[in-house]
Structure 1
Amino acid sequence: MLKLFQYNWQVREDWFTWCEDVPEEELLKKRTGGVGSILYTLFHIVDVEYSWILSLKGEPEPEEPPFEAYASLARVKEFSKLCHKEVKPFVISWTSEIESQTLSETNSSGETINFKYGEIMRHVIAHEIHHIGQLSVWSRELGKEPVTANLIGRGLFD
Protein backbone atom coordinates (compact mmCIF):
# COMPACT_ATOMS: atom_id res chain seq x y z
CA MET A 1 0.00 0.00 0.00
CA LEU A 2 2.91 2.35 0.77
CA LYS A 3 4.08 2.15 -2.84
CA LEU A 4 0.70 3.33 -4.13
CA PHE A 5 0.70 6.29 -1.74
CA GLN A 6 4.25 7.11 -2.85
CA TYR A 7 3.07 6.86 -6.46
CA ASN A 8 0.20 9.27 -5.77
CA TRP A 9 2.52 11.70 -4.00
CA GLN A 10 4.96 11.64 -6.92
CA VAL A 11 2.20 12.17 -9.47
CA ARG A 12 0.75 15.01 -7.39
CA GLU A 13 4.14 16.75 -7.33
CA ASP A 14 4.38 16.24 -11.09
CA TRP A 15 0.98 17.93 -11.50
CA PHE A 16 2.12 20.85 -9.36
CA THR A 17 5.12 21.22 -11.68
CA TRP A 18 2.83 20.91 -14.73
CA CYS A 19 0.68 23.74 -13.34
CA GLU A 20 3.65 26.12 -13.23
CA ASP A 21 3.40 26.57 -17.02
CA VAL A 22 -0.35 27.24 -17.00
CA PRO A 23 -1.81 30.71 -16.45
CA GLU A 24 -3.54 31.01 -13.07
CA GLU A 25 -6.87 31.95 -14.72
CA GLU A 26 -6.78 28.56 -16.52
CA LEU A 27 -6.00 26.77 -13.25
CA LEU A 28 -9.01 28.43 -11.61
CA LYS A 29 -11.40 28.19 -14.56
CA LYS A 30 -14.57 26.15 -13.87
CA ARG A 31 -14.46 23.01 -16.01
CA THR A 32 -16.96 20.38 -17.03
CA GLY A 33 -16.92 17.29 -14.85
CA GLY A 34 -14.91 16.62 -11.75
CA VAL A 35 -15.09 18.97 -8.79
CA GLY A 36 -14.59 22.20 -10.71
CA SER A 37 -11.19 23.62 -11.58
CA ILE A 38 -7.71 22.19 -11.94
CA LEU A 39 -6.48 23.93 -8.80
CA TYR A 40 -9.56 23.05 -6.76
CA THR A 41 -9.15 19.41 -7.81
CA LEU A 42 -5.59 19.35 -6.46
CA PHE A 43 -6.76 21.05 -3.26
CA HIS A 44 -9.62 18.52 -2.94
CA ILE A 45 -7.24 15.56 -3.37
CA VAL A 46 -5.05 16.83 -0.52
CA ASP A 47 -7.98 17.67 1.73
CA VAL A 48 -9.64 14.26 1.32
CA GLU A 49 -6.40 12.37 2.00
CA TYR A 50 -5.69 14.52 5.06
CA SER A 51 -9.21 14.25 6.48
CA TRP A 52 -9.40 10.47 6.18
CA ILE A 53 -5.93 9.92 7.66
CA LEU A 54 -6.73 12.20 10.60
CA SER A 55 -9.86 10.13 11.22
CA LEU A 56 -7.83 6.91 11.14
CA LYS A 57 -5.38 8.44 13.61
CA GLY A 58 -8.29 9.17 15.93
CA GLU A 59 -7.89 12.91 15.57
CA PRO A 60 -10.83 15.21 14.96
CA GLU A 61 -11.52 15.87 11.33
CA PRO A 62 -11.20 19.59 10.69
CA GLU A 63 -13.81 21.50 8.76
CA GLU A 64 -12.87 21.68 5.12
CA PRO A 65 -10.90 24.87 4.76
CA PRO A 66 -12.38 27.37 2.34
CA PHE A 67 -10.75 26.98 -1.05
CA GLU A 68 -10.73 30.75 -1.43
CA ALA A 69 -7.99 30.88 1.20
CA TYR A 70 -5.85 28.57 -0.98
CA ALA A 71 -6.81 29.70 -4.49
CA SER A 72 -3.28 29.94 -5.91
CA LEU A 73 -0.79 27.31 -6.97
CA ALA A 74 1.69 28.35 -4.28
CA ARG A 75 -0.94 28.10 -1.52
CA VAL A 76 -2.24 24.69 -2.65
CA LYS A 77 1.34 23.39 -2.77
CA GLU A 78 1.95 24.71 0.75
CA PHE A 79 -1.31 23.14 1.97
CA SER A 80 -0.17 19.84 0.45
CA LYS A 81 3.21 20.03 2.22
CA LEU A 82 1.62 20.80 5.58
CA CYS A 83 -0.87 17.93 5.29
CA HIS A 84 1.79 15.55 4.00
CA LYS A 85 3.81 16.04 7.20
CA GLU A 86 0.96 14.43 9.16
CA VAL A 87 -0.11 11.88 6.56
CA LYS A 88 3.26 10.36 5.64
CA PRO A 89 4.25 8.99 9.10
CA PHE A 90 0.89 7.24 9.42
CA VAL A 91 1.15 5.69 5.97
CA ILE A 92 4.74 4.58 6.56
CA SER A 93 3.82 2.98 9.88
CA TRP A 94 0.98 0.93 8.33
CA THR A 95 0.90 -2.72 9.40
CA SER A 96 -1.31 -5.65 8.54
CA GLU A 97 -2.70 -5.51 12.10
CA ILE A 98 -4.24 -2.10 11.37
CA GLU A 99 -5.93 -3.39 8.22
CA SER A 100 -9.08 -4.73 9.87
CA GLN A 101 -9.53 -2.09 12.57
CA THR A 102 -12.87 -0.33 12.36
CA LEU A 103 -13.67 3.36 12.11
CA SER A 104 -17.22 4.32 13.02
CA GLU A 105 -18.71 7.40 11.38
CA THR A 106 -22.13 8.95 11.81
CA ASN A 107 -23.80 9.98 8.57
CA SER A 108 -26.14 12.94 8.09
CA SER A 109 -29.13 10.71 8.98
CA GLY A 110 -27.61 9.88 12.35
CA GLU A 111 -26.78 6.29 11.37
CA THR A 112 -23.48 4.78 12.41
CA ILE A 113 -21.47 3.32 9.55
CA ASN A 114 -18.42 1.15 10.13
CA PHE A 115 -15.46 1.14 7.76
CA LYS A 116 -12.37 -1.06 7.85
CA TYR A 117 -9.13 0.92 7.92
CA GLY A 118 -7.82 -0.98 4.91
CA GLU A 119 -10.94 -0.08 2.93
CA ILE A 120 -10.45 3.62 3.73
CA MET A 121 -6.77 3.56 2.78
CA ARG A 122 -7.58 1.99 -0.58
CA HIS A 123 -10.38 4.50 -1.09
CA VAL A 124 -7.92 7.36 -0.53
CA ILE A 125 -5.56 5.86 -3.11
CA ALA A 126 -8.33 5.30 -5.67
CA HIS A 127 -9.81 8.75 -5.02
CA GLU A 128 -6.62 10.51 -6.05
CA ILE A 129 -6.11 8.31 -9.11
CA HIS A 130 -9.70 9.05 -10.17
CA HIS A 131 -9.17 12.80 -10.00
CA ILE A 132 -5.78 12.59 -11.71
CA GLY A 133 -7.64 11.08 -14.67
CA GLN A 134 -9.86 14.16 -14.76
CA LEU A 135 -6.81 16.43 -14.71
CA SER A 136 -5.44 14.48 -17.67
CA VAL A 137 -8.59 15.15 -19.69
CA TRP A 138 -8.47 18.86 -18.87
CA SER A 139 -4.77 19.06 -19.78
CA ARG A 140 -5.56 17.72 -23.24
CA GLU A 141 -8.36 20.27 -23.57
CA LEU A 142 -5.68 22.92 -22.95
CA GLY A 143 -3.49 21.34 -25.65
CA LYS A 144 -0.90 20.22 -23.09
CA GLU A 145 0.54 16.78 -22.54
CA PRO A 146 -0.72 15.39 -19.21
CA VAL A 147 1.51 14.06 -16.48
CA THR A 148 2.17 10.38 -17.08
CA ALA A 149 0.05 8.08 -14.96
CA ASN A 150 2.52 5.25 -15.47
CA LEU A 151 3.60 3.57 -12.25
CA ILE A 152 6.41 1.77 -14.05
CA GLY A 153 9.66 3.67 -14.28
CA ARG A 154 9.09 5.98 -11.30
CA GLY A 155 11.83 4.33 -9.23
CA LEU A 156 9.40 3.16 -6.56
CA PHE A 157 10.72 -0.38 -6.60
CA ASP A 158 14.46 0.33 -6.87
Structure 2
Amino acid sequence: MIEAATCLKCQYGLIKESRARLLNYCKTISMEDFLRENSAFPLGGSIRNLLVHVANTYQFWILKRALQMDLDFTQYTAIRSIQEAERLLGSIDTQIIRFIDQFESTLFDKLQLEVKGRVKYLSPLELFTHVTTHEFHHKGQILLLSRHLGYTPVDTDVVQ
Protein backbone atom coordinates (compact mmCIF):
# COMPACT_ATOMS: atom_id res chain seq x y z
CA MET A 1 0.00 0.00 0.00
CA ILE A 2 1.23 3.48 -0.85
CA GLU A 3 1.59 5.75 2.16
CA ALA A 4 -0.47 8.92 2.42
CA ALA A 5 2.67 11.08 2.54
CA THR A 6 3.84 9.62 -0.76
CA CYS A 7 0.47 10.50 -2.30
CA LEU A 8 0.64 14.08 -0.98
CA LYS A 9 4.17 14.52 -2.34
CA CYS A 10 3.01 13.24 -5.72
CA GLN A 11 -0.02 15.53 -5.60
CA TYR A 12 2.16 18.52 -4.70
CA GLY A 13 4.39 17.65 -7.67
CA LEU A 14 1.35 17.92 -9.94
CA ILE A 15 0.43 21.24 -8.33
CA LYS A 16 3.95 22.56 -8.98
CA GLU A 17 3.72 21.48 -12.64
CA SER A 18 0.43 23.36 -13.01
CA ARG A 19 1.97 26.37 -11.24
CA ALA A 20 4.96 26.26 -13.59
CA ARG A 21 2.60 26.46 -16.60
CA LEU A 22 0.91 29.47 -15.00
CA LEU A 23 4.22 31.20 -14.21
CA ASN A 24 5.58 30.54 -17.71
CA TYR A 25 2.41 32.07 -19.12
CA CYS A 26 2.79 35.07 -16.80
CA LYS A 27 6.25 35.66 -18.30
CA THR A 28 4.46 36.57 -21.55
CA ILE A 29 2.52 39.34 -19.79
CA SER A 30 4.02 42.82 -19.84
CA MET A 31 5.47 44.11 -16.59
CA GLU A 32 2.94 46.94 -16.65
CA ASP A 33 0.04 44.46 -16.87
CA PHE A 34 1.65 42.13 -14.28
CA LEU A 35 1.52 44.99 -11.76
CA ARG A 36 -1.70 46.66 -12.98
CA GLU A 37 -4.36 46.70 -10.26
CA ASN A 38 -8.01 46.10 -11.08
CA SER A 39 -10.54 46.91 -8.36
CA ALA A 40 -12.93 44.28 -9.75
CA PHE A 41 -10.55 41.61 -8.42
CA PRO A 42 -9.69 40.96 -4.76
CA LEU A 43 -6.41 41.74 -2.98
CA GLY A 44 -5.52 44.79 -5.00
CA GLY A 45 -6.41 42.93 -8.16
CA SER A 46 -3.05 42.52 -9.83
CA ILE A 47 -1.47 39.31 -11.02
CA ARG A 48 1.51 40.05 -8.78
CA ASN A 49 -0.68 40.61 -5.72
CA LEU A 50 -2.60 37.40 -6.29
CA LEU A 51 0.62 35.39 -6.60
CA VAL A 52 2.01 36.95 -3.42
CA HIS A 53 -1.28 36.24 -1.64
CA VAL A 54 -1.00 32.57 -2.63
CA ALA A 55 2.53 32.46 -1.19
CA ASN A 56 1.38 34.24 1.97
CA THR A 57 -1.36 31.66 2.46
CA TYR A 58 1.18 28.84 2.33
CA GLN A 59 3.38 30.84 4.70
CA PHE A 60 0.50 31.46 7.14
CA TRP A 61 -1.00 27.98 7.37
CA ILE A 62 1.93 25.66 6.70
CA LEU A 63 5.07 27.53 7.69
CA LYS A 64 3.85 29.74 10.52
CA ARG A 65 0.98 27.71 12.02
CA ALA A 66 1.85 24.06 11.39
CA LEU A 67 5.68 24.21 11.30
CA GLN A 68 5.76 27.09 13.82
CA MET A 69 8.36 29.03 11.86
CA ASP A 70 8.96 32.65 12.76
CA LEU A 71 8.63 34.66 9.55
CA ASP A 72 7.40 37.89 8.11
CA PHE A 73 4.86 37.71 5.34
CA THR A 74 5.91 38.95 1.94
CA GLN A 75 4.58 42.39 1.08
CA TYR A 76 3.07 42.82 -2.38
CA THR A 77 5.46 45.63 -3.23
CA ALA A 78 8.49 43.47 -2.36
CA ILE A 79 7.85 41.47 -5.54
CA ARG A 80 8.62 43.50 -8.66
CA SER A 81 8.70 40.83 -11.40
CA ILE A 82 7.33 37.45 -12.34
CA GLN A 83 10.79 35.96 -11.72
CA GLU A 84 10.69 37.24 -8.13
CA ALA A 85 7.19 35.79 -7.68
CA GLU A 86 8.48 32.49 -9.08
CA ARG A 87 11.39 32.49 -6.58
CA LEU A 88 9.02 33.31 -3.72
CA LEU A 89 6.73 30.40 -4.53
CA GLY A 90 9.73 28.12 -5.12
CA SER A 91 11.11 28.98 -1.69
CA ILE A 92 8.01 27.46 -0.13
CA ASP A 93 8.33 24.12 -1.92
CA THR A 94 10.96 22.60 0.39
CA GLN A 95 8.92 23.62 3.42
CA ILE A 96 5.84 21.86 2.03
CA ILE A 97 7.84 18.63 1.71
CA ARG A 98 9.17 19.16 5.24
CA PHE A 99 5.56 19.63 6.42
CA ILE A 100 4.46 16.39 4.75
CA ASP A 101 7.42 14.49 6.21
CA GLN A 102 6.89 15.92 9.69
CA PHE A 103 3.20 15.04 9.80
CA GLU A 104 3.18 11.85 7.69
CA SER A 105 2.15 9.63 10.63
CA THR A 106 -0.38 12.15 11.97
CA LEU A 107 -1.98 13.52 8.79
CA PHE A 108 -5.48 12.96 10.19
CA ASP A 109 -4.82 14.10 13.78
CA LYS A 110 -6.13 17.50 14.76
CA LEU A 111 -3.68 20.29 15.53
CA GLN A 112 -4.71 23.08 17.87
CA LEU A 113 -4.08 26.37 16.08
CA GLU A 114 -4.85 29.88 17.22
CA VAL A 115 -6.14 32.06 14.41
CA LYS A 116 -7.41 35.60 14.94
CA GLY A 117 -7.85 34.97 18.65
CA ARG A 118 -9.84 31.77 18.11
CA VAL A 119 -8.74 28.19 18.55
CA LYS A 120 -9.22 25.95 15.53
CA TYR A 121 -8.66 22.20 15.34
CA LEU A 122 -7.42 21.22 11.90
CA SER A 123 -5.55 18.20 10.63
CA PRO A 124 -2.40 18.48 8.51
CA LEU A 125 -4.42 16.97 5.66
CA GLU A 126 -7.01 19.75 6.01
CA LEU A 127 -4.26 22.39 6.00
CA PHE A 128 -2.62 20.88 2.90
CA THR A 129 -5.98 20.67 1.13
CA HIS A 130 -6.84 24.24 2.08
CA VAL A 131 -3.64 25.84 0.79
CA THR A 132 -3.53 23.85 -2.44
CA THR A 133 -7.17 24.40 -3.38
CA HIS A 134 -6.73 28.05 -2.42
CA GLU A 135 -3.86 28.27 -4.92
CA PHE A 136 -6.04 26.85 -7.69
CA HIS A 137 -8.86 29.28 -6.84
CA HIS A 138 -6.52 32.24 -7.30
CA LYS A 139 -4.89 30.68 -10.36
CA GLY A 140 -8.30 30.90 -12.01
CA GLN A 141 -8.58 34.55 -11.00
CA ILE A 142 -5.13 35.27 -12.46
CA LEU A 143 -6.11 33.69 -15.76
CA LEU A 144 -9.39 35.63 -15.82
CA LEU A 145 -7.62 38.88 -14.95
CA SER A 146 -5.15 38.30 -17.78
CA ARG A 147 -8.06 37.78 -20.17
CA HIS A 148 -9.51 41.13 -19.02
CA LEU A 149 -6.11 42.64 -19.86
CA GLY A 150 -6.35 41.31 -23.43
CA TYR A 151 -4.27 38.12 -23.18
CA THR A 152 -5.31 34.61 -24.17
CA PRO A 153 -4.79 32.34 -21.16
CA VAL A 154 -3.13 28.95 -21.51
CA ASP A 155 -4.43 25.67 -20.14
CA THR A 156 -2.92 25.20 -16.70
CA ASP A 157 -5.01 22.21 -15.65
CA VAL A 158 -3.24 19.26 -14.05
CA VAL A 159 -4.57 16.98 -16.80
CA GLN A 160 -3.70 18.31 -20.23
TM-score (norm 1): 0.80
Structure 2: gaps spanning 5 or more residues = 1-7
Distance 1:37 1:29 in 2: 5
Q: Partner of 1:57 in structure 2?
A: 67
- Number of residues of Structure 1 aligned to a counterpart in Structure 2: 150
Distance 2:105 2:134 in 1: 22
Q: Which SS does the other structure have where 2:20 is aligned?
A: helix
Q: Which SS does the other structure have where 2:112 is aligned?
A: strand
Within 5 Å, which residues of 2 pair with 1:8-157? 8-31=15-38, 32-35=40-43, 36-54=45-63, 55-60=65-70, 62-91=71-100, 95=104, 97-107=106-116, 110-153=117-160
Distance 2:42 2:142 in 1: 9
Bigger mean CA offset, 90-99 vs 68-77: 90-99
Distance 1:70 1:101 in 2: 34
Bigger mean CA offset, 50-59 vs 40-49: 50-59
TM-score (norm 2): 0.80
Shift in CA distance, 93/6, structure 1 to aligned 2, threshold 3 Å: farther
Query: How many Å apart are 1:133 and its aligned residue?
Result: 1.0
Distance 2:58 2:115 in 1: 19
Distance 1:40 1:89 in 2: 26
Q: Is the 8 A contact 2:112 2:122 kept in 1?
A: yes
Structure 1: gaps spanning 5 or more residues = 154-158
Query: How many Å apart are 1:114 and its aligned residue?
Result: 2.3
- RMSD after superposition: 2.2
